[in-house]
Amino acid sequence: MSLSATPDKDVFSTIEAPLRKAWAARVHTPPRELSRLARLRQIVSVGGSYPRVILDGSEREALVAAAFFARRRRPPAVVIADATWSADGNILDRLASRFGLMGLDGSHVRYCVFSSAERERFPLTWRVDPQRVVFTPYHHTLSDEELASPASDDGAVFAGGDSLRDYRTLIEAAREIRAPVLIATRRASEQRRSDLPPNVVVAAVSRRDYNERTASASVVVVPLAPRDDRGSGQTTYLNAMALGKALIVTDVAGARDYITDGETGLIVPPEDSPALAAALRRLLEDREYARRIGEAARRDALERFGPARYVEQLLAVADEASAASQSSLAGG
C-alpha cells in the first residue's frame, strides 16, 4: 500500500468522517493499515508531511504518532478529537496518562471534547492549557437513508449502549410502568435474569436491530452513571433525536449541551428511579406531548448536530492551531 500524501489536501486525518464537502475538499484520510506498526508508520510518515493533522483520540497508534510529532522542531498543528479519556481507568493502555500526555502535548496541540463540563474539567485533570481545550459538540451518525425512513411508534421503551450506562436505575423504574422495555447491551450477562421485572428484556442485538428498535420505540432512554470527568451516550441520544423520538436522558456531563429539558427531551437526576419512572409515564401516557418533544428534537438534531457541522468545527480548530503556530514561529 502506498504511503504518500495527496498534494491538493492540506489536512491529514485518521478519522473516517462521513463524506461531507468541507471535509472531502481538504482532508486526506488514508486507507487503514492492517497491522498496528504499519498504521503507526502510515500516520507518522504521511501525516507528518501535512501542516494540519486531526487525530482520533481513541486510537492508540494516533496518540503515539502525536508523540513523534511533538519531538519535531516544527511539528504540524495537531487536533486530537474525541479526547474523552477517563482519569481513573486504563486509558489506551495508560498511553494517555499524565506522563504519556506530556509526551505528546505542546503549543501546537488542541484537544476536542464533547461537553462544556469536560471543557472545564479536562485542563485540571490533564494539566494542559485551558485555551487549547475546545468543546466541539458531537453529531448524529445516521445515513441520509436512515433519516428518510419513516419512524414508527410501537408503545415500547428502548435503551441501549455499554459505556457508563446505569441500567439498574432503569430496571427499577420499569417496575412502575406497563410498557415493554428492551435494554440492548453487550453487558447482558451482568443482569441477573431473576431480578428483572416481567416487562424488561436485556439482550445484545446487532447494529441493524439496534437502529430499528430506536426508530420504532415510543420512548428512548439513555440512563447514564454520574461522572465528573466525562460524559457518554451522545451517539445514542443524538441518533434518537434525529429520528424524532421522545427522549429521556440522565443529567450528567453533556446532557444539557445537547438537550433542552422539557422541549427536546426530558432530563432526570442520576440514580433516581422514581424520577425516571415519572418521566416514562409522562411520555407514554401523553402521546401528543411526546410527539411534540420528538419533533422538536429532530429539528434541533438536524440543524445543530449534523456530521457536516461537526467536521467543519474540527477543521476550524485545525486552522486556528495552524495560525497560532505560524504566528509563534514568526514571532520567534
3-state per-residue secondary structure call for 177-193: CCCCEEEECCCHHHCCH
**Whole-number pLDDT of residue 151:** 81
164: closest CA among 78, 222, 97, 90? Answer: 222
Q: Rg for the chain (alpha carbons), in Å? A: 21
In the chain, which residue ranges form alpha helices assigned H by DSSP? 21-26, 36-42, 60-70, 98-104, 116-126, 144-148, 167-174, 207-216, 234-242, 255-258, 273-285, 287-304, 307-331
In the chain, the amino acid numbered 24 is A
CB 271 within 8 A of CB 288: no
* SS3 call for 248: strand
| Alpha-carbon span 218 to 174, nearest angstrom | 14
CA contacts within 13 A on the Cβ side of 127: 9
Q: List 110's β-bridge partners, or say none.
A: 79
For 135, residues 6+ apart whose C-beta sits below 8 A from its C-beta are 112, 113, 114, 115, 116, 118, 119, 257
In sequence order, what are the beta bridge partners of 12? 28, 53
Within 10 Å of residue 286's Cβ, how many Cβ atoms? Answer: 13
Measured between alpha carbons, how far is 249 from 25 in angstroms, rounded to an integer? 36
Q: Which three cell numbers stand for residue 50?
A: 501535512
- Residue 185 is given by DSSP the state -
β-pair partners for 200: 181
Per-residue cell: 10: 492540506
Largest CA distance in the chain: 69
CA pair distance 313, 219, nearest whole angstrom: 31
What is the pLDDT tens value at each position of the chain, 332 positions in all?
Answer: 345 667 789 999 999 876 678 898 999 998 887 798 999 999 999 999 999 999 999 898 999 999 999 999 999 999 999 988 766 655 454 444 555 677 899 999 999 999 999 999 999 888 899 999 999 999 999 999 999 988 889 999 999 999 899 999 999 999 999 999 999 998 765 555 668 999 999 999 998 899 999 999 999 999 999 887 778 899 999 999 999 999 999 999 999 999 999 999 999 999 999 999 999 999 999 999 999 999 999 999 999 999 999 999 999 999 999 999 877 655 55
Ranges of each domain in the chain: 11-139+308-331, 144-305
User: Do 11 and 50 touch, CB atoms closer than 8 A?
Assistant: yes
Question: Which amino acid belongs to residue 71?
Answer: R
Type of residue found at 267 = I
Burial 21-59 (b: 16+ CB within 10 A, else e): eebeebbbbbeebeeeeebbebbbebbbebbbbbbbbbb
Determine how β-strand 11-13 pairs with β-strand 157-160: unpaired
CATH architecture of 144-305: 3-Layer(aba) Sandwich (3.40)
Residue with cell 478529537: 81
* Phi and psi angles of residue 200, each rounded to the nearest 5 degrees, phi first: -115, 135
Determine the distance from the C-alpha atom of residue 102 to the mean position of all C-alpha atoms in its chain, rounded to a whole number. Answer: 24
Gap between the Cα atoms of 274 and 282, Å rounded: 12
Q: Pairing state of beta strands 77-81 and 109-113? A: parallel
